[in-house]
Structure 1
Amino acid sequence: MQCRGKQDPETHIEPKLIYVVDDEAEICKLVSGELQKFNYTVRTFQTGSQAQYILRQQKPDLMIVDLGLPDMDGLSLIRQLGDSCKTGVIILSGRNSLPDRVLGLELGADDYISKPFDPRELLARTNSILRRMEKMATYQLSDRPRKQARFGGWNFNPATLTLSGQNGSQEILSTAEAELLLSLLKAPKQILSREQLLPMRHDNNTFDRCIDVRMSRIRKKLETDPKTPNLIKTVYGAGYMLMSDVDWH
């Protein structure tokens, strides 16, 4: 089912497209109704296969997905989006174990909300993720991305979210990963707290895991040995620090 938001008559900007994938019809209705109040276009799906079919045709700006779908694990849909996709992901699930949370974040989810949930919290986190993605997109389109960052044997191009190594290797970062890396690149050799890296309100455990998992994903792409990182150091009790000088060119 699709409920379309109205185009802004002054800016002609199309409303953001959000997919809600949950096998419970009442939750689809509740979430869709809440999002439509803020003029989002919402499509709801009660099976993974329905969403999977539409994903091949059109990627949304944000996908809210339950893990316990009747025909597949919701993580499979997140894998289908891939790292290079500019789609935000919120996991909305009754599976609240730490392994499920960590795996979801490792696959690139932007947030993890446990059921039962407050629709106002879901809306707030949705707005926050879309604002951050919009900010990143604006940065990519501005004059600043014409400059690239050279550091520690790597070159980062914010316009394409691409890391290039001296050996010719390339890695594509997700929007969330690029945002974290840019924060570090703007403040080399300075300790940045988790709150500075990702200024969003979460419960402490989920918030910390979210930052740590994303940083782990960045390290796997940057470091020769991610378990003993040299470029991005953890300063225990304080945050993270980029150890390299940065040359913007």
Structure 2
Amino acid sequence: MTQAPLVTILDDEPEIRSMLAAALEDSGYRTLGFSRATEFEAALQSITPDLCLLDLSLPDRDGLTLIHRLALEKGARVIIISGRAQVQDKVTGLELGADDYIIKPFDPAEVVARVRARLRQERTAAASSQTAQFAGWTAHFDRFALEDTAGEEVPFSHAEGEVLRLFLERPKRLISRAVMQEVLGGGAGDSFDRAMDVRISRLRTKLREDPKNPRLIKTIYGAGYIFLGDVKWS
């Protein structure tokens, strides 16, 4: 029997942890709650969450420092839940690899809906092709890694993988900002645009592209992006 997805809740406010745990468990998810980054990191030695709800203002560390590890090392989805409403905090969180950003106070039903949507994306991706070859690279979406012809691997985050899959599924077609927002989700506006710019820049770096003249991911100013490589899925 398949276990229900595990959602971890890292927040120093016990009322919020209890409220979210109750709402998620009523919807069929397993949950574990933590109040400090140190105890959460210790637990990561023995658990692998499917998704983490992460507060930024923790008593022992800024929650932003955990996002990259969760996204890259553990392969977990990350949704930030925070009282910080500044655009820069949202941008930074998304740039580091978070999948979504919810500002406190919130309705727990909204959080459950966002969790369900992100995990549904995960199941959809898992059910589709997991390997793509292009321009001397192999993208392994099952383990979030790019492999070159010499067998060297470069990891990418969930968030970067979503952008890469979007390009590889639509080669040689213009992908507008509106399409990216529709497919990838998240709030529209400057914070979304800046987060996408950073993720694309990081993908170009990992693909060893010349930033002044990228050969694969081309920017069409005022319109969007085009991925120019030939792609074979398996």
TM-score, structure 2 normalization: 0.86
Displacement of 1:154: 2.2
Taking structure 1 as reference, are residues 213 and 31 closer, same or farther at Cα in structure 2, changes over 3 Å only?
A: farther
Residue by residue over 1:96-141, the C-alpha shift from the partner in whole angstroms, topping out at 9 and shown as x without a partner, is 33332232222211111122223232222111111111112222xx
> Please, which runs of 5 or more residues in structure 1 have no aligned partner?
1-11
Residue 114 (structure 1) aligned with residue 103 (structure 2): yes
% identical equivalent positions: 41
Taking structure 1 as reference, are residues 57 and 163 closer, same or farther at Cα in structure 2, changes over 3 Å only?
A: same
Q: CA–CA distance in 1 between the matches of 2:101 and 2:142?
A: 28
Count of residue pairs the alignment pairs up: 232
Greater mean deviation of Cα atoms: 30-39 or 201-210: 201-210
Q: CA–CA distance in 2 between the matches of 1:127 and 1:221?
A: 30
Give the one of 204, 207, 227 matched to 1:222: 207
Displacement of 1:59: 1.7
> Please, which runs of 5 or more residues in structure 2 have no aligned partner?
none
Residue by residue over 1:83-102, the C-alpha shift from the partner in whole angstroms, topping out at 9 and shown as x without a partner, is 14221001111223333223
Residue 31 (structure 1) aligned with residue 16 (structure 2): no
Residue 189 (structure 1) aligned with residue 178 (structure 2): no
Q: Which residue of structure 2 lines up, in the alignment, with residue 20 of structure 1?
A: 9
Q: CA–CA distance in 1 between the matches of 2:132 and 2:68?
A: 29
* Superposition pairs of residues 60-99 of structure 1, within 5 angstroms: 60-99=49-88
* Structure 1 stretches of at least 4 aligned residues deviating more than 6 Å after TM superposition: none
| Equivalent residues of 2:91, 2:192 under 8 A apart | no
Q: CA–CA distance in 2 between the matches of 1:168 and 1:14?
A: 34
Larger RCO of the pair (alpha carbons < 8 Å, separation 6+):
2
* Superposition pairs of residues 1-249 of structure 1, within 5 angstroms: 12-139=1-128, 144-145=129-130, 148-166=131-149, 168-197=151-180, 198-200=183-185, 202-226=187-211, 228-248=213-233
